[in-house]
């Protein structure tokens, strides 16, 4: 497993506003979108390209274009939906699949309630989007899901992670496939309710306002 933690003052600034409990949903949504755009730069460093001949006003030259088959971007509902627009703006040819996973409030286990993904993900680059990597249960379930469908090139883009969650991910997934995790920050720990500390609260509720 490869972990990349963004180290950039703009990311830190936006994250601080995001964490503030006084930040309203409208601003929160905007900031999530902006943060994903910044993280996408690193997350797509190895996006597949192929050569493309073009003619400039001066000469012909060989550039690149995003390869076929196109990458597939998968927001994990609900909160991951807030990251979709920012990511597809960066990869306009990407296809979009959906995974609905919700953490059970008493067992903290991830329960799958929806999926709309191609059956065959062989040779597809997959970008999973979820702002919160807390216990790691949700991301492990999502990665297992795409691995079962043949994906081998998987990048997860998250805003916050915990050391505990990253540990779970490494133990569960790390030996099976080389997954890349791109995060804005790794926070201190989980609290007794398995919330990220200092964190930003419930990302889905803060994005969409419905508890």
| Residues 106-145, mask of contacts with ligand PRP (x by CB under 6 A) | --x-x-------------------xxxxxxxxx-------
Q: Per CB under 6 A, does 71 bind ligand PRP?
A: no
Considering the complex, what minimum distance in angstroms separates the CB of residue 205 from Mg ion?
Answer: 6
* 202 carries an active-site annotation: yes
State yes or no: residue 170 binds Mg ion (CB under 5 A): no
Stretch that binds ligand URA, among 7-15, 53-61, 116-124, 193-201 (CB under 6 A): 193-201
* Catalytic residue, candidates 68, 107, 119, 192: 107
Give whichever of 47 and 160 is closer to Mg ion, judged by the CB atom. 160
Output the CA–CA distances (angstroms, integers) from residue 188 to 2, 49, 94, 95, 117, in the order listed. Answer: 19, 37, 34, 35, 34
Three-state DSSP at 153 gives strand
Query: Token pair 């996006």 is at which residue?
Result: 47
How many CB atoms are closer than 10 A to CB 60? 8
What is the spatial distance between Cα 154 and Cα 174, in angstroms, rounded to a whole number?
12
Contact set for ligand URA, span 30-59 (CB under 6 A) = none
Contact 77, 100 (CB under 8 A): yes
Structure tokens given for 39: 């993280």
Binding partner of residue 195 among ligand URA, Mg ion, ligand PRP, none, CB under 5 to 8 Å per kind? ligand URA
In degrees and rounded to multiples of 5, residue 184 shows phi and psi of: -75, -35
Asked if residue 80 binds ligand URA (CB under 6 A), the reply is: no
* Phi–psi pair at 40, nearest 5 degrees: -60, -30
Residues with a catalytic annotation lie at 103, 107, 202, 205
Q: Which residues bind ligand URA (CB under 6 A)?
A: 79, 132, 134, 195-196, 199, 202-204
């Amino acid at each position: 497993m490869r972990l990349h933690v963004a180290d950039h003052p703009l990311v830190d600034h936006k994250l601080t506003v995001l964490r503030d409990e006084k930040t309203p949903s409208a601003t929160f949504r905007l900031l999530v979108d902006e943060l994903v755009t910044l993280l996408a730069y690193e997350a797509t460093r190895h996006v597949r390209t192929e050569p493309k001949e073009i003619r400039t006003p001066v000469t012909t030259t060989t550039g690149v274009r995003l390869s076929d088959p196109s990458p597939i971007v998968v927001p994990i509902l609900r909160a991951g939906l807030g990251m979709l627009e920012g990511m597809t703006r960066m990869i306009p040819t990407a296809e979009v699949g959906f995974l609905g996973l919700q953490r059970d409030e008493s067992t903290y286990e991830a329960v799958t309630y929806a999926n709309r993904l191609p059956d065959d993900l062989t040779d597809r680059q997959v970008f999973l989007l979820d702002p919160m990597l807390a216990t790691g249960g949700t991301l492990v379930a999502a990665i297992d899901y795409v691995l079962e469908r043949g994906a081998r090139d998987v990048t997860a883009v998250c805003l916050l992670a915990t050391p505990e969650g990253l540990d779970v991910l490494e133990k569960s997934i790390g030996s099976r496939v080389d997954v890349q995790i791109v995060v804005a920050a790794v926070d201190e720990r989980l609290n007794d309710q398995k919330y990220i500390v200092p964190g930003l609260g419930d990302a889905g509720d803060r994005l969409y306002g419905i508890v």
